[in-house]
Chain A
Amino acid sequence: MQFMLLFSRQGKLRLQKWYVPLSDKERKKISRDLVQTILARKPKMCSFLEWRDLKIVYKRYASLYFCCAVEDQDNELITLEIIHRYVELLDKYFGSVCELDIIFNFEKAYFILDEFLLGGEAQETSKKNVLKAIEQADLLQEVRLHTDP
């Protein structure tokens, strides 16, 4: 996988994960163009499209679009299920996840993604194991008084 983007129906990027080295400028351009392309598509259309030199797999969950760019030889259907598994992980962790959870806890969304996918490949596909790793990390945090302004 080359990258994964999460964006809202209004086209606001909520999460971006890049697995290939690209400059900041290129990333911005790709996200802008791709978000536009996908938002212009109708609901019943196919989840796959050829976009520039990439194969795009995307799916909409409520107000959020999850979109992956994969290589030519990659399997589209299994990528679609990667997206679904990630949604399940977020859902389980946050307890019926919504867009706001991802906005306010963006760092958690990144941590969960890193446990599930690394370098663009599936690292651990078991839902239990991923969540176990995240819960363990949460346990490592000590309780703090919230004293900041």
Chain B
Amino acid sequence: MPAVSKGDGMRGLAVFISDIRNCKSKEAEIKRINKELANIRSKFKGDKALDGYSKKKYVCKLLFIFLLGHDIDFGHMEAVNLLSSNKYTEKQIGYLFISVLVNSNSELIRLINNAIKNDLSSRNPTFMCLALHCIANVGSREMAEAFAGEIPRILVAGDTMDSVKQSAALCLLRLYKASPDLVLMGEWTSRVVHLLNDQHMGVVTAAISLITCLSSKNPDEFKTCVSLAVSRLSRIVSSASTDLQDYTYYFVPAPWLSCKLLRLLQCYPPPEDGAVKGRLVECLETILNKAQEPPKSKKVQHSNAKNAILFEAISLIIHYDSEPNLLVRACNQLGQFLQHRETNLRYLALESMCTLASSEFSHEAVKTHIETVINALKTERDVSVRQRAADLLYAMCDRSNAKQIVAEMLSYLETADYSIREEMVLKVAILAEKYAVDYSWYVDTILNLIRIAGDYVSEEVWYRVIQIVINRDDVQGYAAKTVFEALQAPACHENMVKVGGYILGEFGNLIAGDPRSSPLVQFNLLHSKFHLCSVPTRALLLSAYIKFINLFPETKATIQEVLRSDSQIRNSDVELQQRAVEYLKLSSIASTDVLATVLEEMPPFPERESSILAKLKKKKGPGAVSVELEDGKERGELNGGGDRGGDAAIAASNASTPSPSADLLGLRSAAPVSGAAPSAGSLLVDVFSEAGPAAASAGVNDDGFLRFVCKNNGVLFENQLLQIGIKSEYRQNLGRMYLFYGNKTSVQFVSFSTTVSCPGELQSQLNVQTKTVEPLVEGGAQVQQVINIECLTDFVDAPLLNIKFRYGGALQNISLKLPVTINKFFQPTEMAAADFFQRWKQLSQPQQEAQKIFKASHGMDTEVLKAKLLGLGTALLENVDPNPENYVCAGVIQTKAQQVGCLLRLEPNAQAQVRTRARAHTQMYMHTHTQMYMHIHTQSPSVLLCAALIASLTAVCVFLCAAANQAWRAGNTQLALFSLALFLSHSPPLSFTPFFHFLIHFSPHIDSTLSH
């Protein structure tokens, strides 16, 4: 039985709880609970009306049972009945039950809301608080709809009791967090801000949480809070510890309020008003000074409260990042904490110093603590503290201390906790790359990594070392020598074999002069590991072997023998079997010249952001990913020449004059070197150069916008977290767009919000209305948003879509252009030839015509072109132009203000087409998952077909590679190539994968090999 039972203890409840506690087994407990549930059920259903007390007692028992972890499916109605009791305790239990066990039953919600409404208008502060607590605890949208208008009024009313104000402020905060669209502060803003001046400290403490949240979302509307916050803070900081009576906590005046004030100030830049800023700097200095004073109490609560304020002040100093003096003082203070006997303080100091390390003013000051931090990494007994130390070492690393830090991290890795090894490996790999002065050190470091923690070395890490070795010829010999030595170890990690196979295959010749590493020795060393490796590694080794045949003709017989063995040529794995068959044939049929070309050394990789860095960001739940899409500014050419009153004509003619910017149906996706999308062409030209689906999946976001010029549905954006799909429809000058936000992770996105804005003059040209989306997107879920668009007059820019949400605590911010272009408001117009040319001639003034000449870089497929022109929104007029090669289109752009007729002619030039072919097929790079990359020289029709399909087909094929394989065996080269092309165009390009160069000459020999 309880030692204390205050108020009116419910004896029946206490007995029940005792019974449950006395149950010896889980079964006994369940039995007892079921008995009680049956009893309560019969009481509730009984004929005799229950009195309030009994109802309360049973509802309370149900609550207890629920909190034990059992399901409760009745009693809600009785709880709701309690809400309207005029006895406080009954009401209180009713509210508690509702708060804990909310039910989305609409009938109940209405009843609950009614009860709440009655209590809110009761003018009894205790009842009002109960009702507000319930709203704050449940925080559902239905409640926001019912009360979001009423609560601000209660909050600022002059006659509201302080305790009710406190509840109202936090209640409103909860509603705002859940349904920001329903809480409109508008007229209340300034009175809410002035709550910072309230006499009652409790009111200020509660209100400031609300103000901070509102300020972070609408900084401009609330900016008057800055000076109020500074003066309030200043009064607290300078007050004696007894001034604030019960708001002083262990000799620290108002620690909670101080922290919140400092937190609020972090929503804003430093105050511009000199006086305010001076006062604030004074506060911050006082806080730093107080940290040096002897403690007023030995209690940990005293130092915690004092240091809580200190850390919050340091956060503000770091946030401002403009006061070198304060930054350095903060750093020194944290330095003292690094050796404090309190683990908590050491942890926080390491964490806080991490952010200080990134400020230019304090980076050097942070670096002076390197020895202490290294020591923490070695000696801290708590893994979470060691993790912070590793983070700080990473943050303070620069060229001057990289070798020391990397060495320490490597040695820590040998004993590090399993949970953080992978992250440590990535960090070491990044630091080694970022601060490598000589690349032999880099190679050593990565090979050490693989040796120490091979299991935790992700693909990205070894890809990266290979990229770097390939790109720097000064380190290749060293790399070959080191990796050869590393492979000597009797047991080495598979990742080491991969790196070894790759590097020796490319650069084994650089160490072949030494008899200890002669070609045959190298081969035997690699092959001794072969049988212990997984299929992908074996595949890589086979490719290394064929490279050996080219590098060292003397190994040819040995290697052919290996390839010919049953375990290769009849391997059950189709990839291995295929490689063995093809390599064997290649080595026996191709001449040395052909072999040398096909198996040429890898060319340098294009420079790009380190894939490891990308991986680390991904692991951390990427920080602020900001994606700004390429904009088609040259759109001026499309309609800039148009006369506003009359018709404008657009003619895109394809003359033979070459223009370097044009890239008609170009293989942009296929050329790895042109990873940066060209932006020089006009909109129309860019549209026609649209990359194939392969590029889309590569995440080349620049294409996202342009790809939608000629189509209305598809994927606008995709990263590791989020996919945004679009469906849109347009009629006349109106459009409706459905955006689908898909959460690709298993973690929910919170505070999900989107805004669509029309920058600059677009505001007066487009009318865009959006419906808000739910702020919570569950993992794997998709939410839809509808956007209505009205075109008022012609426009050039596109509306901006900004998406914000928190993923794993980190704020994500994505900005995209919404693909709303003027041509969406095209209405196709049919007209006869005479009509067309009469109008065409009428539009003869220079400002009525826009012309663009561009070179086609790819074979022009009539159907593809037609589809594009139709996608543009115009009508394609058949039998209008006397020249059958030309395409003629007409349409009317519908805006609210006016209608603009447009005529369009596309005049392809046959010669250009020839040139196109020539260009498309001499330089075609394709990526495949087998890490090959082909370089085709041919005039054969089937290959042409292939090339044409690569950029344009849209079917999704997974088994095409296998189909190609089959077709080859069956002797159907054309089908094989066709399938291969499809496959190539849909497999995700492994942008960071080190590719084997595999140059296949479709010379007659190989043709025969293939049909073999």
Asked if B2 and A119 make an inter-chain contact with CB atoms under 8 angstroms apart, the answer reads no
Contacts A104-B14, A119-B171 given; does A143 touch B750 at CB 8 Å: no
**Other-chain residue from B88, B205, B809 in contact with A137 (beta carbon distance below 8 A):** B88
Give residues of chain A (46-104) contacting chain B, Cβ–Cβ below 8 Å. 46-50, 52-55, 71-73, 75-78, 80-82, 84-85, 93-95, 98, 100-101, 103-104
Asked if A81 and B301 make an inter-chain contact with CB atoms under 8 angstroms apart, the answer reads yes
Contacts A100-B3, A129-B246, A140-B126 given; does A50 touch B8 at CB 8 Å: no
The 9 closest A-B CB pairs, nearest first, are: A53-B808, A104-B2, A119-B174, A77-B308, A140-B88, A121-B209, A78-B308, A72-B809, A118-B170
List, in ascending order, chain A residues with CB within 8 A of B312's CB: 75, 78
**Other-chain residue from A28, A49, A76, A129 in contact with B348 (beta carbon distance below 8 A):** A76
Is A30 interfacial (CB 8 A cutoff)?
A: no
4 new A-B contacts, CB < 8 A, other than A129-B163, A144-B53, are: A53-B621, A71-B809, A84-B301, A121-B170
11 pairs, A vs B, C-beta closer than 8 Å: A21-B178, A46-B347, A50-B384, A53-B747, A77-B308, A78-B305, A118-B171, A119-B177, A124-B166, A133-B163, A143-B8
Asked if B249 and A123 make an inter-chain contact with CB atoms under 8 angstroms apart, the answer reads no
Asked if A53 and B7 make an inter-chain contact with CB atoms under 8 angstroms apart, the answer reads no
List, in ascending order, chain A residues with CB within 8 A of B64's CB: 106
Among the listed stretches B131-139, B232-240, B916-924, which one makes contact with chain A, having 4 or more residues with CB under 8 Å of it?
A: B131-139
Q: For chain B, what secondary structure do more than half of its interface residues adopt (helix, strand, loop), or is it mixed? A: helix
Asked if A75 and B311 make an inter-chain contact with CB atoms under 8 angstroms apart, the answer reads yes
Contact with A along B41-55 (1 / 0, CB 8 A): 000000000000110
Min CB–CB distance B139 → chain A (angstroms):
7
Q: Which residue of A lies closest to B811 (CB)?
A: A72
Centre residue among B8, B63, B381, B621 by max chain A CB count within 10 A: B8
**Other-chain residue from A13, A124, A136, A144 in contact with B205 (beta carbon distance below 8 A):** A124
Complex alpha-carbon distance, A78 and B387, angstroms? 22
Asked if B205 and A125 make an inter-chain contact with CB atoms under 8 angstroms apart, the answer reads yes
Give residues of chain A (124-138) contacting chain B, Cβ–Cβ below 8 Å. 124-129, 133, 136-138
Is B772 interfacial (CB 8 A cutoff)?
A: no
Q: Which residue of B lies closest to A114 (CB)?
A: B133
Is B731 interfacial (CB 8 A cutoff)?
A: no
Q: Which residue of B lies closest to A47 (CB)?
A: B344
Is B38 interfacial (CB 8 A cutoff)?
A: no
**Other-chain residue from B53, B136, B202 in contact with A126 (beta carbon distance below 8 A):** B202
Asked if B202 and A123 make an inter-chain contact with CB atoms under 8 angstroms apart, the answer reads yes
Residues of B at the A interface (CB closer than 8 Å) are 1-12, 14, 17, 21, 53-54, 57, 60, 63-64, 67, 69, 87-89, 92-93, 96, 100, 126, 129, 132-133, 136-137, 139-140, 163, 166-167, 170-171, 173-174, 177-178, 201-202, 205-206, 209, 245-247, 249, 254-257, 259, 263, 266, 301, 304-305, 307-308, 311-312, 343-344, 346-348, 381-382, 384-385, 387, 621, 747, 750, 776, 807-810
Min CB–CB distance B140 → chain A (angstroms):
8
Asked if B311 and A123 make an inter-chain contact with CB atoms under 8 angstroms apart, the answer reads no
Complex alpha-carbon distance, A89 and B382, angstroms? 31
Complex alpha-carbon distance, A57 and B870, angstroms? 61
List, in ascending order, chain B residues with CB within 8 A of A44's CB: 343, 381-382
Asked if A110 and B96 make an inter-chain contact with CB atoms under 8 angstroms apart, the answer reads yes
Complex alpha-carbon distance, A92 and B387, angstroms? 39
Contacts A28-B69, A77-B344 given; does A118 touch B60 at CB 8 Å: no
Complex alpha-carbon distance, A52 and B745, angstroms? 14
Complex alpha-carbon distance, A126 and B92, angstroms? 22
List, in ascending order, chain B residues with CB within 8 A of A114's CB: 133, 137
Complex alpha-carbon distance, A110 and B382, angstroms? 33
Asked if A123 and B809 make an inter-chain contact with CB atoms under 8 angstroms apart, the answer reads no
Complex alpha-carbon distance, A61 and B54, angstroms? 35
Give residues of chain A (1-59) contacting chain B, Cβ–Cβ below 8 Å. 13, 16, 19-21, 28, 42, 44-50, 52-55
List, in ascending order, chain B residues with CB within 8 A of A110's CB: 96, 100
Complex alpha-carbon distance, A113 and B383, angstroms? 32
**Other-chain residue from B5, B308, B348, B381 in contact with A81 (beta carbon distance below 8 A):** B308
Q: How many residues from A make CB contacts under 8 Å with B?
A: 69
List, in ascending order, chain A residues with CB within 8 A of B88's CB: 137, 140-141
Asked if A16 and B67 make an inter-chain contact with CB atoms under 8 angstroms apart, the answer reads yes
Q: Which residue of B lies closest to A84 (CB)?
A: B301
Contacts A49-B384, A78-B255 given; does A126 touch B17 at CB 8 Å: no
Contacts A104-B14, A119-B173, A124-B206 given; does A141 touch B89 at CB 8 Å: yes
List, in ascending order, chain A residues with CB within 8 A of B60's CB: 107
Complex alpha-carbon distance, A118 and B136, angstroms? 7
Min CB–CB distance A108 → chain B (angstroms):
7
Min CB–CB distance A38 → chain B (angstroms):
12
Asked if A53 and B92 make an inter-chain contact with CB atoms under 8 angstroms apart, the answer reads no
Complex alpha-carbon distance, A114 and B830, angstroms? 71
Complex alpha-carbon distance, A104 and B1, angstroms? 8
Min CB–CB distance A22 → chain B (angstroms):
9
List, in ascending order, chain B residues with CB within 8 A of A128's CB: 246
Complex alpha-carbon distance, A148 and B809, angstroms? 50
Min CB–CB distance A1 → chain B (angstroms):
10
List, in ascending order, chain B residues with CB within 8 A of A149's CB: 12
Centre residue among A19, A53, A95 by max chain B CB count within 10 A: A53
Asked if A119 and B139 make an inter-chain contact with CB atoms under 8 angstroms apart, the answer reads yes
List, in ascending order, chain B residues with CB within 8 A of A103's CB: 2, 17, 21
List, in ascending order, chain A residues with CB within 8 A of B139's CB: 21, 119
Complex alpha-carbon distance, A124 and B256, angstroms? 10
Contacts A119-B174, A148-B57 given; does A77 touch B249 at CB 8 Å: no
Min CB–CB distance B906 → chain A (angstroms):
53
Asked if B11 and A107 make an inter-chain contact with CB atoms under 8 angstroms apart, the answer reads no
List, in ascending order, chain B residues with CB within 8 A of A101's CB: 2-4
Q: Which residue of B lies closest to A28 (CB)?
A: B69
**Other-chain residue from A28, A46, A148 in contact with B384 (beta carbon distance below 8 A):** A46
Contacts A111-B92, A119-B170 given; does A46 touch B3 at CB 8 Å: no
Asked if A123 and B4 make an inter-chain contact with CB atoms under 8 angstroms apart, the answer reads no
List, in ascending order, chain A residues with CB within 8 A of B96's CB: 107, 110-111
Contacts A71-B809, A85-B249, A125-B256 given; does A98 touch B3 at CB 8 Å: yes
Centre residue among A52, A55, A106, A126 by max chain B CB count within 10 A: A126
List, in ascending order, chain B residues with CB within 8 A of A120's CB: 174
Q: Which residue of B lies closest to A27 (CB)?
A: B69
List, in ascending order, chain B residues with CB within 8 A of A93's CB: 6
Asked if A45 and B171 make an inter-chain contact with CB atoms under 8 angstroms apart, the answer reads no
Min CB–CB distance B749 → chain A (angstroms):
11
Asked if A76 and B344 make an inter-chain contact with CB atoms under 8 angstroms apart, the answer reads yes
Contacts A103-B21, A107-B96, A144-B53 given; does A81 touch B2 at CB 8 Å: no
Q: Which residue of A lies closest to B209 (CB)?
A: A121
Asked if B133 and A48 make an inter-chain contact with CB atoms under 8 angstroms apart, the answer reads no
List, in ascending order, chain B residues with CB within 8 A of A42's CB: 381-382
Complex alpha-carbon distance, A100 and B266, angstroms? 43
Asked if A123 and B259 make an inter-chain contact with CB atoms under 8 angstroms apart, the answer reads no
Complex alpha-carbon distance, A141 and B731, angstroms? 66
**Other-chain residue from A45, A100, A105, A121 in contact with B173 (beta carbon distance below 8 A):** A121
Min CB–CB distance A88 → chain B (angstroms):
9
Complex alpha-carbon distance, A103 and B12, angstroms? 14
Complex alpha-carbon distance, A43 and B57, angstroms? 40
Asked if A100 and B2 make an inter-chain contact with CB atoms under 8 angstroms apart, the answer reads yes
Complex alpha-carbon distance, A142 and B90, angstroms? 11
List, in ascending order, chain A residues with CB within 8 A of B63's CB: 107
Complex alpha-carbon distance, A137 and B163, angstroms? 13
List, in ascending order, chain B residues with CB within 8 A of A98's CB: 3
Complex alpha-carbon distance, A78 and B313, angstroms? 13
Asked if A122 and B209 make an inter-chain contact with CB atoms under 8 angstroms apart, the answer reads yes
Min CB–CB distance A127 → chain B (angstroms):
6
Min CB–CB distance A17 → chain B (angstroms):
8
Complex alpha-carbon distance, A126 and B219, angstroms? 30
Complex alpha-carbon distance, A137 and B707, angstroms? 65
List, in ascending order, chain A residues with CB within 8 A of B308's CB: 75-78, 81
Complex alpha-carbon distance, A72 and B173, angstroms? 18
Complex alpha-carbon distance, A119 and B170, angstroms? 6
Min CB–CB distance A46 → chain B (angstroms):
4
Asked if B259 and A78 make an inter-chain contact with CB atoms under 8 angstroms apart, the answer reads yes
